Amino acid sequence: MKEKADVLRFGELTAACAHLCIDMQRMFAEETEWRTPWMNAILPNVLTLVSAHPDRTIFTRFIPPKRVQDAAGAWKRYYERWPSMTLEHLHPDMVRLVPELARFTPPAEVLDKHVYSPWYGSGLHLALTRRGVDTLILSGAETDVCVLAAVLGAVDRGYRVILATDALCSSTDETHDALLTLYRNRYGQQIETVSTATIAANWG
């Protein structure tokens, strides 16, 4: 369903636009403790964005530590809660992108990260700057965790941020809806929230 104001308020998208697709991995799509139940429901919309410009797409992957004791600080407590999601127990293929998206690499790029944010220690900002990117479309999982970290990092670095609202998912409807409300009501000058169809229609 389209939003009430499903328009790009700051104009059409140009060659300076890239698509940052967050953590569309098998370990979130399949039966694990971190399964995001409606990831498969948004996959067709993510595919629409990726297939439009695979050469302008960057996929992120969240990579857990090998063992609980390899995690630092509060992350160690985090993995003590979910030891099954460390690489010691998780099948290596589970950190891969879902097959429907993996086929686009290359030309799409893959960026691995070990925390929620794709900006921390990754060189992402420098790589985007070198490519002349000033606008980011964001899709993926989860709206209220890794997408949130990606969005705020992009805002801090001055990117125009466009959220494909029907190409985002979370483990809970309540926090997904709350974050979309936050993005719209508190970041209106920096974040645009529109449908995949509107993005596709304006991304030449």
Model confidence at 4: pLDDT above 70? no
Residue at 50 is within a domain = yes
Residue at 62 is within a domain = yes
Q: Which domain CATH number covers 176? A: 3.40.50.850
pTM equals 0.94
Total number of domains constituting the chain = 1
Model confidence at 195: pLDDT above 70? yes
Per-residue confidence (pLDDT) for residue 5, from 0 to 100: 77
**Confidence category of residue 121, pLDDT binned at 50, 70, 90:** confident
Distances (CA, A) of 141 to 70, 88, 151, 183: 25, 23, 12, 15
Residue range of the domain that includes 147: 17-202
Distance CA 5, CA 83 (A): 43
Residue at 168 is within a domain = yes
Instruction: For residues 64-86, give the mean pLDDT.
Output: 97
